[in-house]
């Protein structure tokens, strides 16, 4: 379970790497062709479109990010699907 500030532990970062490898994700960067990725230190929080308004405390979709170490292109992977959160996913858990 990621910390309250969305940061990932070393084990959680490894879980992201293992999940991506297990799924057979193609590793060449679609922008520069490099195959040199790092896992971001924090989760990103994507919010659903709500008619142009930002809803504080509304639903969000936390995602782990892989960042190309050459060109900084960023890929997002849903944290719930990876298993970093339980489905229904509040920060208190499983
Ligand atoms: Zn790249």
pLDDT tens, position by position, 21-64: 999 887 899 999 999 999 999 999 888 777 877 777 777 889 99
pTM of the full predicted structure?
0.76
Give residue 91's pLDDT band: very low, low, confident or very high (50, 70, 90).
Answer: very low
What is the distance in A from the centroid of ligand 1 to the CA of 75? 10
- Does 92 map to a domain? no
Tokens 């479109």 appear where? 49
pLDDT of 48 reads 78
For the chain, what is the domain count? Answer: 1
What is the distance in A from the centroid of ligand 1 to the CA of 71? 4
- Does 70 map to a domain? yes
DSSP letter, residue 23: T
What is the distance in A from the centroid of ligand 1 to the CA of 21? 18
CA-CA distance, 86 to 94, in Å (whole number)?
A: 5
- Does 34 map to a domain? yes
What is the distance in A from the centroid of ligand 1 to the CA of 43? 20
- Does 24 map to a domain? yes
Give residue 87's pLDDT band: very low, low, confident or very high (50, 70, 90).
Answer: low
More confident residue, 22 or 3: 22
Q: What domain range is 21 assigned to?
A: 10-49+59-82
- Does 31 map to a domain? yes
Q: What integer best gives the mean pLDDT of the chain?
A: 85
- The β-bridge partners of 39 are 66
- Does 72 map to a domain? yes
- Does 77 map to a domain? yes
What is the distance in A from the centroid of ligand 1 to the CA of 56? 34
- Does 91 map to a domain? no
Alpha carbon separation from 29 to 5, 19, 26, 46 (Å, rounded): 28, 18, 8, 22
């Amino acid at each position: 379970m990621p910390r309250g500030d969305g940061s990932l532990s070393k084990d959680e970062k490894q879980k992201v790497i293992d999940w991506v490898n297990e799924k057979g994700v193609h590793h060449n960067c679609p922008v520069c062709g490099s195959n040199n990725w790092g896992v971001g230190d924090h989760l990103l929080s994507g919010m659903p479109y709500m008619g142009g308004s930002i809803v504080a405390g509304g639903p969000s979709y936390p995602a782990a990010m892989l960042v190309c170490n050459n060109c900084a292109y960023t890929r997002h992977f849903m944290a719930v699907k990876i298993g970093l959160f339980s489905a229904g996913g509040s920060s208190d858990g499983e």
